Amino acid sequence: MTFRTLQGADLKGKTALVRVDFNVPMENGQVQDDTRLRSALPTIDLLSKAGAKVVLLAHFDRPKGKRVPEMSLKPVLDPLSALTRKPIKWADDCIGETAKAVIDAMKPGDVALLENLRYHTGEEKNDPAFAAELAKLGDIYVNDAFSAAHRAHASTEGLAKLLPAYPGLSMERELSALDAALGNPQRPVLGIVGGSKVSTKLDLLKNLVTRLDKLAIGGGMANTFLYAQGHDVGASYCEKDLAETAREIIRLAGQNNCKLFLPIDIVVAEQMAKGVPTRVRALGSIDEHERILDAGPETVARLKRAMANSKTLIWNGPLGVFEIPPFDKGTVEAAKEAARLAKAGELVAVAGGGDTVSAMHHAGVADDLTFISTAGGAFLEWMEGKELPGVEALKI
**Series of mean pLDDT values for 10-residue runs along the chain (396 residues):** 87 98 92 92 98 98 96 97 97 98 98 98 98 98 96 97 97 93 94 93 95 97 97 96 97 98 97 93 93 98 98 97 96 98 98 90 96 90 93 93
Alpha helices in the chain, H assignment, sequence order: 35-49, 77-84, 96-104, 121-124, 128-135, 169-178, 202-208, 219-228, 243-255, 297-308, 329-343, 354-363, 377-383, 389-392
What does each C-alpha distance from 80 to 24, 95, 148, 150 come to in angstroms?
12, 21, 20, 25
CB burial string 19-36: b at 16+ within 10 A, e below: bbbbbbebeeeebeebeb
- Residue 163's nearest CA partner among 72, 285, 52, 305 is 52
Which class is domain 185-383?
Answer: alpha beta
Query: Is 197 part of the annotated catalytic residue set?
Result: yes
Taking the C-alpha atoms of residue 66 and residue 236, their distance in angstroms, rounded to an integer, is 44
Q: List the domain boundaries for the chain.
A: 15-171, 185-383
CA end-to-end distance (rounded Å), the chain: 9
Residue in 354, 376, 385, 386 annotated catalytic? 354
Query: Is 377 part of the annotated catalytic residue set?
Result: yes
Q: Which pLDDT does position 374 carry in this prediction?
A: 85
| Beta strands 214-217; 259-261: pairing state | parallel
Task: Please tell me the pTM assigned to this model.
Answer: 0.91
3-state secondary structure of 396: coil
Residue type at position 183: G
61-64 long-range contacts, Cβ below 8 Å, gap at least 24?
61/23, 61/116, 61/118, 62/118, 63/116, 63/118, 63/119, 64/118, 64/121
User: How distant is the alpha carbon of residue 110 from its chain centre?
Assistant: 30
User: How distant is the alpha carbon of residue 328 from its chain centre?
Assistant: 21
Taking the C-alpha atoms of residue 110 and residue 54, their distance in angstroms, rounded to an integer, is 6
Task: Tell me if domain 15-171 and domain 185-383 are identical in fold.
Answer: yes
Q: Which pLDDT does position 1 carry in this prediction?
A: 58
Residue in 65, 377, 385, 386 annotated catalytic? 377
Task: Name the E strands within 270-336.
Answer: 279-282, 291-295, 312-316
Task: Assess if CATH 3.40.1400.10 describes domain 15-171.
Answer: no
Query: Is 51 part of the annotated catalytic residue set?
Result: no
Query: Is 187 part of the annotated catalytic residue set?
Result: no
Residue in 125, 197, 206, 304 annotated catalytic? 197
Backbone angles phi, psi at 104, to 5 degrees: -60, -35
Residue in 14, 19, 36, 151 annotated catalytic? 36
Q: Give, as one character, the DSSP assignment of residue 395.
A: B
Taking the C-alpha atoms of residue 139 and residue 206, their distance in angstroms, rounded to an integer, is 42
Taking the C-alpha atoms of residue 1 and residue 148, their distance in angstroms, rounded to an integer, is 19
Taking the C-alpha atoms of residue 164 and residue 147, their distance in angstroms, rounded to an integer, is 21
Angle at 32 between CA 30 and CA 36, to 5 degrees: 110
State the burial class of residue 255 (Cβ atoms within 10 Å of its Cβ: 0-12, 13-18, 19+): exposed
